[in-house]
Amino acid sequence: MRKTSVTRPDQDGPSYHVIDITPATAKRWLRQNTHNRNLRDRVVNSYAADMRDGNWVEDGQAIKFARGDIALFDNPYLTGGPLLDGQHRLSAIVAANVTIRMLVVTGLPASTQDTMDTGAKRVLADALKLRGESHCVVLAAALVRVHQWQKGHRKNLRGAGTAKPTHRQLLALLEDHPELRRSVEIADRVRKSMRISGGTAALCHWLFTNIDSSDCAFFFARLADGAGLMTDDPIYALRRALHNFAADRSNPDESVVTAVVIKGWNAYRDGRSVQLLSYRPGGSRPEPYPEPK
């Protein structure tokens, strides 16, 4: 890690410093967080996870302070007023208990806070597109669902709330599992002929192809075209179930749809005849979540 760089500020404008921010320094600076939006725990937890895992990237985003004469660091030139931007990153440093190097800007007019964080947030699909990936929207959805599956979050495959994975975690997942690109390609074709989300189809294709690639290829081909299926074929029953889900205005939970796809796959693998596919997650006799086999 490079040494902290603190220079004499420009008295007539903002000054810029590269600081190794320790948890103690972060706590000290957070005491100046007197005029900011509400702290979002999910964001703090997400940042802290990347910091602990060594996935935090120094991307030029700065911790920003208004003009002021409060000492911020053991240097007579580094002083500031209220914290304008960076409360989530500083809180994550404290939570992760790590030292992170960041750019720090001091001497800003307090009014500049009005222009901070007003741009469009860059989503994972944007990052994938910049990397030259194909089917970026479906690939992003698939990465979230595979991550959640690996973590055991069967009822939260979309990564809602505190279980939401970070972009760095998902990009690392793609590096570890490049075969996901093929599953996404197949899923993108299937979703155009069947009413199923690309993320769900990609997750299931990835799970099934790791069990038996030949069976998976046949299963998804017939799921897409329905060619030659008898009415008691589990793939036929699955096509009908997906049609019913698509017509249901209550918008069935994705974990339920995924469970039905898995049950259809398991019946196909077992060679069983099936007339109806369903999954009961609650009530007096809830079903255990199916595992593909």
The Cα–Cα gap between 203 and 141 comes to 9
The pTM (predicted TM-score) of the whole model is 0.70
Q: At what angle do helices 254-270 and 234-247 cross, to 10 degrees?
A: 170
pLDDT in tens for each of the 293 residues of the chain?
444 555 555 556 788 889 999 999 999 999 988 877 678 888 899 899 999 999 898 888 899 999 888 888 766 667 888 999 899 999 999 999 999 999 999 988 888 876 776 555 678 998 898 789 999 999 999 999 999 999 999 989 988 876 788 888 999 999 999 999 999 999 999 988 888 999 999 999 999 999 999 999 999 999 999 999 999 999 999 999 999 988 877 678 899 999 999 999 999 999 999 999 999 998 888 999 999 99
Whether 240 contacts 233, CB under 8 Å = no
Residue 284: CB atoms within 10 Å: 5
The Cα–Cα gap between 186 and 195 comes to 14
Sheet holding 15-21, edge to edge: 15-21, 100-108, 62-66, 83-85
The Cα–Cα gap between 145 and 203 comes to 6
Whether 80 contacts 107, CB under 8 Å = yes
- Alpha carbon dihedral 64, 69, 72, 77, in 10-degree steps, equals 100
